[in-house]
Structures are given as structure tokens and as C-alpha cells.
Structure 1
């Protein structure tokens, strides 16, 4: 704090942060609550104003709340999402001052010392802050005072602005609970007749300190400014950007690649220090005419190996227009993911070749787009057409080979009906049948393998019910996968073995 400048603190309290966040995404009318499982029971975690007006409160068993308020609507709570939202609000609050910190799980504290005049004064700043929060759909309590404790008390007790230099008059009429005391201490003080902060301030300190310890007096002194309390701002998010200014313009591809190599080494060192890897990189080439060219690289896996990343930039660098020369290079990792250190080989001489596949996916992705490269993954289903998943290769990992209980055809297609003769009326495949204008005769049949539909899924393709699958080898050399539907008799071909 500079000499001659009075310290001023703003406290922001979000009494319904979780429910306001949920209702911003999916609004509902009427009483609403978020539930969280605590002590083997579903309890109300946060609720809106209508639910509070109906007599519900936090910590109430959800079953009791539904019995008390049958029209109550609910959703599961997401504490991690609420924490992310509070961090987002903290970054947004940086528009008012550079020092913004968290106040528990539902509040923010802003040190606006020397910054209020930029918003037209303290009253204008508080009005603007409240109006923006209201438009964003968040209920907020605001308090402004010389100390963090006094600002917190005002925010939780209806809001207000304490005069500079003396927060006492603004706090005198507030309940002692506004001093951030635990509920048991508040109850004990109320039994002694000390219900207001002004009454506590006027009471003898010695007996109170002997009975309640130093905590009560410390909170009072922090609120009144007799004991200091700092505001710890949130740490700035790491910035993964490196810049290289050149004494002379360059234009050759090899020169640009050499400069990019220097930038990559510094950037990868910064990523390694934080155990992170880049998924998206942007290389900006600034020309002497103040124009710029950008080369974006999207990686199939998080990387921080400069030797592997550098060749992937060549295609984009070759396509860039250097104009009359490039005088500055800037490399930034625009998307970063965790990449903890791991063992590269499990035995002597062992190595992992997964990186080669990732590099190949990246090279192809620079031409056709990473989202257009897919891989097949096994799925836990007996239904043939549901036995695999198609996932983007850049955002999924191989999961090993399939392990079906019976052999499966190499080619699988939609069921095609056939007309056959002979056989055992469904108990055996037909001895002769027509398929795709081919006349085929059965040489050997193996089966049946009965597969039942998944009753929990509504699939019209399985409307005929059970299927009995057979592997049929024909005299003509075709090895087909046939099935029979006993509930609605009929024969179909669904696949062909190699």
C-alpha cells in the first residue's frame, strides 16, 4: 500500500452460485435445488430463491424436501464445475483491479486500492459490479470497506459501503455472525447478550478472550483494521509463448525452420517444467511490411519433444508467403494438456513406437484435418453391428484387439434376405440359395450361435427378435455368415469371412 492511500477492499458473495450456474445453462420455473450425496444420503446442496421461499434449506434431506415441496425440481450438483465458474468470475473481476482472490467456495475479494476512480468512484464501481452480475444471472452480495473482514461482513449482511478510515459505524448494527465465526461461538455469544458487532466491540476484552480464546478478538480486530489481513491474488495462468526478433529479415524456408527450432527448444523446456504437452501450436511470421502469416499445427497427442515437432511445421512454413522478409517469429502453445513424466521402456532394449503413429496421424491431419482420421475401438456388445466404435484417432487411444466368443467375419454389412431350398426349416441352413444373383450351395455349416437383442435399446433392425447365426462354406468358395430369425422365419446374410 502506498503512503497516503487508504486501502479499500470489495467482497463479493454468491449465495446461490451453484444453482445460478445450473439455471443459466437450463432455466426452469418454480422451486429448484441441486443435490449432493453426503453421509449416505441425498441432501440439498444449493437451491434457488423460490425453493427457499417454500421453506427448504441447505443440508436438508432430499426425500424430506420432496415431501414438503412436491413441485421441487432437482439436478445433481457439480462442485468441480462450480469451482471452475468461480475461477472464471475471478478472472473477469480483473477488469476492476489487478488483485483478485478467492473467498472460500462462494466468494471473491478484490483489492481496489487506487482503482475506484477509473470506474467513476466507489459507488459507481459497486453499482456497475452489481448490475453486471444481475444481467449474468448471479445473485451477489457486495460489501466495500477498509478491511477484508469488514467488507465480508457487509456483503453477507445485506451489502453496503463503509466510510474510509472507520468501519465501526457501518458494522455496529450487524450480527456477530458477520465476523466469520463458527456457529457454536455465535450461539455462545448470543446467550451472553452479545448479538451485534457493536455490543461485542464495547464489551470487556479480557473475559471474552479467557472464555473464547484469541479467535474471536482476532476476527474483531481484523474487521476493525487493528490487525492486518492480506488479499492473496490468484496466480496468473502459465503463458506458453516465445518470441524471436531478427536483426535482418529472412525469407528462406531453412532459415525460418532454424528460428522455429530455437523457439521450440525454449517452449518445450517451459512445458517440461510444468509436466505439460502441447496439442495445438501457432507459429506467427511477422513480415517487414507489418503483415503476418500464421502456421497452425494440431498434434494427435500432447508433445513437448522439439525434435519430433519441428519436422511437422515444414509443410506449413513452405506454404507461407514471406513477402519482403520476416523480421520476427512467435511460437505459442494455444492448447496445452497434462503430460506427466513416464518410463519410455520397460526392459533393456525396449522401446515404444506409439509416437511414430501419432506423428503419422499429425502429418495426415495437416492435410485432411485431424477430425477426419478415425480408428475402430472394441465395444462391449454381443450385437455384431454394435461390437465396435468409431472414434477420432487424435482423441482416443488403442484399446487392444477384439476378443469375441466366436469367430466374426472380416466383412460386415446390413442383413440381406435370401431365398433358399432344403435345410431343416430353420434348424439347418438351406442347401441351395440365391444371394446377390449368385446360385450357391452349402458344403458345410457350423452353428448355431444364438444372439438375443439388447432389450434396453430400441433397435428396429432387431425387431424380428432372436437370431441364430451360422458359418456357411459353399461349394462355390464363398464363406458367409448367415442367420435365421425363428420368431419371424427368414434367412439373411450379414457378413463374409476371408
Structure 2
């Protein structure tokens, strides 16, 4: 900033950021609100102008809101999508100046010092911002000032058509908490001018130093910088070739040169790639992409390179490829590897195997078993994709469980002890040894018809014919069933 240049700040407030974001994706005619759950009650998180006109407000319980407005359309609030939408607006606002920061969860702050003349002045620049946001269906209020606090106050409480007198705005425009605002109003200090004319020492003793800090920031006596948000790093490399290539070996050689700097950048950020996209541009300007999804975060070029072979086999080079671009489209944290002379077991070989199989059948189709907190045999495990879950121990049971489980199959037998002779799957069997019973009670809180009707007494039965079966007896409705077989 040049000496003598007056600092100028523009504040953009999006009072309906959440609903504007939701309505852009799926428009709704009439009253609309986003709902969040607080405790056991659903309350309004954000609402559109039609809902406000119907008498609704933020924080209102949904039961009361529907009594006021029976035609209200609602959806669950998504603060994560709102934050992503605001980040996109911040990047868009960089067209007006390079210094753009976030203002809470629903606003932006722009340091337009030395940049407004490129748009014909501040007035023309703000008019262009309003017009573009209005065309996009986004409600916004703008404020300008010599300080960040003054711009925020005018954006939230001032006249949108003019640069309002800062001293005439209410004390709530100083970004104070509601209790402080209420306390000041009870003392008769309702305007910023009233507060600025009052003795500072009594105010500091009663309300603390934050009150005077906010006042000085709004009046420009205390600096408050605008800090632009940092962009996340992009993990991509590109190579333009002087002569077109068409052989798979040449593409692999170029890919080797792209992987080394990409993996070095991943290592510098302590990250690993989970998904890579190789874009091959041909001389006729057509492009082909080879996508590689990894079973675990990786940043080792020697391990990644062979995994591209299967994808490159189906590439049509046409009249030649003149540009290669490699990008890590999905990145996850990956801690530095421990260096040492003693070799240790590593899960890298399993991850490489899952990746190779995943390129053929899809990573989602390779599963592993995970333990679950349940004493019911059918619910003692979960099935999850192996590439997106971590292997866990914890398969503990009070007694051994069979290797094979299947739906209960009835057999003809009576009495609470295992039968000496029975038929199962058309095979006559004789009991040589029986171990049990192990009584398992139903989990009454689960909606499972097969486990809601009483107890089961499980027995481990070794037959004279060599079969080792898992049988159970139901005392409440006498009957015998086979549910598993031991190895």
C-alpha cells in the first residue's frame, strides 16, 4: 500500500446463505426452511423470504412453524455444504481484489484498497457485485468503510443504498455478544455515537476490554487485518512432449518422470494419493484418461508405476500423444515412514494386492470381516470394503464359533438334549459327543423376527460320521436346528 492511501474495506453479508445454496440445487416455490435438530426438538436453521413473510424466524420450533405455515417445505441443514459454498464465493470474489477473507460462516470481507478504480470506483464495483449475486439467486448486503468493523456494521445494519453514518448505527453493529448489547441498552447507550462519547474507564470495568476493542476497530483506531484464506495445495504435474509418442513403453517412461515430482510434493505435505488420474492429450486435441484408485495412501513412485499398466493397455494413441498430465484427485494424510536397518513387516504388500485386484473387479467389491458388538452369531461381524476400512481384532466369543454359518435348518428331534440319531441334509448322523449347552438370549431392542421369540441353547455336536455341527434347541417352542459346521 502506498503512503497516504486510505484503506477501504467492503463487507459482503449473505443473510440467507444456507437456503440460497439449497434452492440453487433444487428450487422450491413458496415458504422454505432448513431444519436442524437441537436436542430432541427440530428448529429452523435458515429460511427464505417467503417463510419470513409468513411470520417464521430462525430458531423457531418446527412444530410451531408448521402451525403458522402449513405449506412450509423443509430439508435438513447441511453446514458442511454451506461452508463449501462460501469457499466458492470467496474464490469468485477474488475477481475484484486479491485480498478476500471469510467473515464468520456467512460473509466475506474484501480489502479493495487500490483496486476499486479498475471497476470505475467503489460504487460501480459494489453495484456489479450486487447484480451478479442477484442473477445467481444469492441474497447479499454490502457495506463499505475505512475499517473492517465499519464495513461490517454498515453491511449488517446500514442502508444498502448509501454509506450510513457509523455513529448513528446501533451498538449491536459493533459485533458484540447479545448480553453486552442488552447491558448497554439498559444504560441508555443505544447508538455507537453514545458509546464513543462515554467515559472509557467505567465501560471497561463493567463490560471488559472487548467492548472498547470493537469500538476502536470500527472507528479505525485499532488495526484489524484482512487475511486471505489459503488455497489447498494441488498435486498435479504436466509434461509437453516435443514429438508425439504412441508406444506404451514411452508413456510409462513419461509417467515415471511425472510421478517423481508428484510424490515428492506429497511427501513434503505428509500426504499420500488415494486416487490418481493420468490425462493423455493426442495431437488431434482429443484426450483420454486413465484413473487409478489405490487401496491405501501411497507416495512411492516404484509402487505406483506398475499399477498403471492395466489401464494404459486400453489407450488409443491415435496419431500420437503430445502431452501427459498426472493429478492426485484424492489425497489423504500419510505419516512419514520410520527409517531403520531392521526390516519390519509392512501392510504395503496387502495394499498393493488390493489395488491390483481392485483395478479388475473394483475396490468396492473386495470385502473384509470386522467385529461387531453382539453376542448373537449372525450379528457378531460386519462386512466392509477392504480398501476403505482397517483390519481389526476383537473377534472374541465365550465359546468357539463354527467356521461356516448358515440359516437355521430344522431337524427331527425331541427333548432338551441333543438326539442320539438324526437326519440332516438327507444324511443319517449319530451323535458321538455333545458339548453344551450355551444359552444365548435375544437382543430385544433389535427388530429381528428370528431372535424376538425366546432363548436358544447351543450345542457343539461331533458325529460318528465325522461331521462337527453346531445345533441349538428352542425351549419356548421345542425344536432342534442346525446353524453351523466346524472345520
1:471 alignment counterpart: 460
2:419 alignment counterpart: 430
Q: 1:383 aligns with which of 376, 381, 405?
A: 376
1:366 alignment counterpart: 359
Q: Does 1:411 align with 2:404?
A: yes
Query: 2: distance between equivalents of 1:315 and 1:249?
Result: 22
Seen in structure 2, the aligned counterparts of structure 1 residues 405 and 459 have a Cα distance that, compared at 3 Å, is same
1:157 alignment counterpart: 157
Task: Identify the range of structure 1 (121-130 vs 215-224) with the bigger mean alpha-carbon deviation.
Answer: 215-224
The Cα RMSD (Å) is 4.3
Query: 1: distance between equivalents of 2:184 and 2:458?
Result: 79
Query: 2: distance between equivalents of 1:173 and 1:34?
Result: 36
Is this contact kept in 2: 1:419–1:433, CA < 8 A? yes
Cα offset, 1:97, TM superposition: 3.1
- For the residue of structure 2 that corresponds to 1:472, the secondary structure is strand
Seen in structure 2, the aligned counterparts of structure 1 residues 382 and 20 have a Cα distance that, compared at 3 Å, is farther
Q: How many residues align?
A: 466
2:133 alignment counterpart: 129
1:454 alignment counterpart: 443
Is this contact kept in 2: 1:272–1:304, CA < 8 A? yes
- For the residue of structure 2 that corresponds to 1:268, the secondary structure is helix
- For the residue of structure 2 that corresponds to 1:340, the secondary structure is coil
Cα offset, 1:382, TM superposition: 1.4
Seen in structure 2, the aligned counterparts of structure 1 residues 352 and 85 have a Cα distance that, compared at 3 Å, is farther
Deviation digits for residues 418-462 of structure 1 (CA, Å, limit 9, x no counterpart): 113xxxx43211111111111112121111111111111011122
1:357 alignment counterpart: 350
Flag structure 1 segments of 5+ consecutive residues without an equivalent: none
- For the residue of structure 1 that corresponds to 2:397, the secondary structure is coil
Cα offset, 1:495, TM superposition: 1.0
Query: 1: distance between equivalents of 2:378 and 2:339?
Result: 37
Q: Does 1:488 align with 2:485?
A: no
- For the residue of structure 2 that corresponds to 1:469, the secondary structure is strand
Q: Does 1:282 align with 2:274?
A: no
Is this contact kept in 2: 1:130–1:142, CA < 8 A? no
Is this contact kept in 2: 1:97–1:111, CA < 8 A? no
Deviation digits for residues 467-495 of structure 1 (CA, Å, limit 9, x no counterpart): 11111122222111111111111111111
Cα offset, 1:191, TM superposition: 7.1
Query: 1: distance between equivalents of 2:31 and 2:437?
Result: 56
Is this contact kept in 2: 1:426–1:486, CA < 8 A? no
Q: 1:301 aligns with which of 296, 302, 305?
A: 296
Task: Identify the range of structure 1 (290-299 vs 145-154) with the bigger mean alpha-carbon deviation.
Answer: 145-154
Query: 2: distance between equivalents of 1:439 and 1:449?
Result: 25
Query: 2: distance between equivalents of 1:250 and 1:25?
Result: 43
Is this contact kept in 1: 2:126–2:142, CA < 8 A? no
Q: Does 1:396 align with 2:389?
A: yes
Is this contact kept in 1: 2:443–2:452, CA < 8 A? no
What pairs with 1:201-240 in structure 2 (closer than 5 Å)?
A: 203=197, 208=199, 222-223=217-218, 229-240=224-235
1:92 alignment counterpart: 89
Query: 1: distance between equivalents of 2:14 and 2:270?
Result: 34
Seen in structure 2, the aligned counterparts of structure 1 residues 117 and 411 have a Cα distance that, compared at 3 Å, is farther
Is this contact kept in 2: 1:19–1:47, CA < 8 A? no
Query: 1: distance between equivalents of 2:184 and 2:303?
Result: 67
Cα offset, 1:3, TM superposition: 10
Seen in structure 2, the aligned counterparts of structure 1 residues 34 and 316 have a Cα distance that, compared at 3 Å, is closer
Cα offset, 1:333, TM superposition: 0.3
- For the residue of structure 1 that corresponds to 2:231, the secondary structure is coil
Query: 1: distance between equivalents of 2:104 and 2:233?
Result: 23
Query: 2: distance between equivalents of 1:449 and 1:383?
Result: 12
What pairs with 1:21-420 in structure 2 (closer than 5 Å)?
A: 34=36, 82=79, 85-98=82-95, 99-111=99-111, 113-114=115-116, 121-129=125-133, 132=136, 134=138, 141-145=141-145, 147-157=147-157, 160-162=160-162, 167=163, 169-180=164-175, 194-198=189-193, 203=197, 208=199, 222-223=217-218, 229-343=224-338, 349-400=342-393, 402-420=395-413
Is this contact kept in 1: 2:150–2:166, CA < 8 A? yes
Is this contact kept in 2: 1:244–1:329, CA < 8 A? yes
- For the residue of structure 2 that corresponds to 1:260, the secondary structure is helix
Seen in structure 2, the aligned counterparts of structure 1 residues 442 and 35 have a Cα distance that, compared at 3 Å, is closer
Is this contact kept in 2: 1:471–1:482, CA < 8 A? yes
Seen in structure 2, the aligned counterparts of structure 1 residues 20 and 120 have a Cα distance that, compared at 3 Å, is closer
- For the residue of structure 2 that corresponds to 1:95, the secondary structure is helix
- For the residue of structure 2 that corresponds to 1:319, the secondary structure is coil
Query: 1: distance between equivalents of 2:471 and 2:456?
Result: 10
- For the residue of structure 2 that corresponds to 1:123, the secondary structure is helix
Cα offset, 1:147, TM superposition: 4.0
Query: 2: distance between equivalents of 1:104 and 1:453?
Result: 50
Query: 2: distance between equivalents of 1:341 and 1:9?
Result: 43
Is this contact kept in 1: 2:43–2:62, CA < 8 A? no
Seen in structure 2, the aligned counterparts of structure 1 residues 269 and 159 have a Cα distance that, compared at 3 Å, is farther
TM-score (normalised: structure 2)? 0.80
Is this contact kept in 1: 2:20–2:137, CA < 8 A? no
Query: 1: distance between equivalents of 2:58 and 2:282?
Result: 62
TM-score (normalised: structure 1)? 0.78
